[in-house]
Amino acid sequence: MQPAIVSFDDDSTWGQPNGLRYPVTNGNFLIPKGRLLTDVILDRVENSMWQWQISDFRAKSLFFTSHAIAKWNVTESTEGTVDVVFSYRYFASHWSVFPVLWGFAVIQVRGMLQNALTAIKQYAESDKPMVYT
């Protein structure tokens, strides 16, 4: 449904509280090419927790959502393992579009989580540091 993010604009402050960036996409039949949304870091505790908000959706096909807040917590579980708890909360732009938002969130978040967990696993199994550049 959502095309891949191909780059980020104006991301020099992203990763720090109140830092922001603009994900850029090549678009598809539903999403226009260019900046997709605004991504802002709300809170961050290094190696423990990140919380961010996405808003200002540029695609008219996302009319049903005003913004979303995501959070992930990372805790050491047993020696050599960590637990990652990831949550996403979407906010409806109006109560009448809630069923559309719910369906979108189920499909969208499931896909995002699968991609994110695959990427996290690849980083964890490599010797490369996980650094945002």
Q: Is residue 74 part of a domain?
A: yes
pLDDT tens sequence across 74-129? 888 888 788 888 888 999 989 999 899 888 888 877 777 777 778 778 877 887 77
Q: Is residue 130 part of a domain?
A: no
Q: Is residue 27 part of a domain?
A: yes
Total domains in the chain come to: 1
CATH number, domain containing residue 13 = 3.30.530.20
Q: What is the pTM of this model?
A: 0.77
Domain that holds residue 94: 5-125
- State the Cα–Cα distance between residues 25 and 6, nearest whole angstrom: 5
Q: Is residue 65 part of a domain?
A: yes
- State the Cα–Cα distance between residues 116 and 98, nearest whole angstrom: 25
